[in-house]
Amino acid sequence: MQPMSPRTSPSLSQVSRRDVSESNRSHVLWHLYRHGVASRARIAEALGLTPAAITKITARLISSGLIAETGDIEGSRRRRSIGLALNTERFHFIGVKFARSLVEVGVFDLAGGRISLIDLPDVADDTVGEAVAAIHRTIDRLLAGDERIVAIGMAVPGPYLRQTGRTALVSSMPHWRDIDFIEEFAQGSPVPVIIEQDARAGALAQRLFGEPDGTGSLAYYLLGEGVGLGVIESGRLVNGSLGAATELGHVSIDVNGRPCECGNVGCLERYCSAGAIHEQIDRRGLVPGSRSMTHRQACERLFEASERGDEGARELVRQVGRYAGYGCVTICNAFNPSRIVIGDIGAMGGDVLLDAVRATVAERVIPQIADATDISLSALPTDATVLGAAAAAITEFLDHPMRFAGIPGARTGTGRRKTPRN
């Protein structure tokens, strides 16, 4: 094969300059995202760049519509300066949560404010195809109705193999494994589609919207229809070579325990996922009519009974908390995060569950590590996974701003799928 000529192939120095320029633009956007309105002088000081460099960078961001001048603000030495801010309301993001039988689609602004949230009909293993078609129809309708939508984030069950676009295992819902998410949703989309494993998406939501300063190591512990973990270390997600790192749900906590569809036995998912909790609710007869309920509905009724003081319900919630605590022991020992946030359906177990988790960690983790690890329930106003799907798209927007420059108002009639959806 003949080498490409310099006319068709950019030099390494050109690529390097582009990378540096995009990195600097990203740093400016992240600074404004974290700190709000700021002057060029303050941004230059914070990022260690020259005023001339910041002037050039911000001029490009302003011309691209990503940031705007806000008028006079007080600068250093009480001099008047012109403020800069993100065009938060100009950019909207779709978040799609896939959670076995549950699918939610939301629209959010750049600050994570919820504009709309749609719960699609419950999914059974033999209706996965219908669910995919419904998702396409919903996304197409949202895109047609809102020209400010610049990206779509999707949170899918793990282990998600990011190179192939497929999940390696979805317990009790094997037909989800037939879906190539990249081919199905990303190819042919008029806006960028970012696909992330659900717990890692939840970690991104916690970092963007639940962490005061966004620093420190964070573990988002998802107790939903499955059990998952997303870890952020030094500002970056822990992914692994295939994208299947931090699959906590398939760590065995009992070598002689309950069999799991992954081929292992005693997997954590078999003890504190919504499905596992539902099994115990049915077996103990704690919730009238639970056998005809979804996993979420049965868990919600259990947690409500626990809050009312029903001792049978509280005992099961404490048991679930102990099992979830074993997961936290593994998180502490494997990743040593400064903070563990428990989210999704299991977080509705409240203080009864959280107290059991903390007691297990205190009993089984080296005291210095346990004492340095804050464990809490997610306080995000919207489900962290669907918000996390949007957060994955927002993170891409902040990391690679020029990928999105000019998208608003330029989508009409371009890039849409030509195959009609039923």
Q: Are strands 227-233 and 218-223 parallel, antiparallel or unpaired?
A: antiparallel
Whether residue 213 is predicted with pLDDT greater than 60 in this model: the reply is no
Arithmetic mean of pLDDT, 92-103 = 89
Task: Compare 175 and 412 and report the one with higher pLDDT.
Answer: 175
- Token readout for 383 is 């489900």
Of the candidates 304, 308, 311, 319, the one whose C-alpha atom is nearest the C-alpha of residue 353 is 319
What is the pTM (predicted TM-score) of this model?
0.85
Confidence of residue 384 (pLDDT cuts 50, 70, 90): confident
Whether residue 313 is predicted with pLDDT greater than 90 in this model: the reply is yes
Residue pLDDT, tens place only, 11-57:
545 446 678 889 999 999 999 998 999 999 999 999 999 999 999 99
| Alpha-helix residue ranges (DSSP H) falling in 336-415 | 350-364, 367-371, 384-399
φ, ψ (nearest 5 deg) of residue 50: -75, 155
Confidence of residue 4 (pLDDT cuts 50, 70, 90): very low
Arithmetic mean of pLDDT, 411-419 = 42
How many CA within 13 A on the CB side of residue 177? 9
- What is the Cα 37 distance to its own chain's centre? 26
pLDDT over 90 for what percent of the chain?
67
- Token readout for 330 is 């593994």
Produce one character per residue of 405-415: b if its CB has 16 or more CB atoms within 10 Å, e if not.
bebbeebeeee
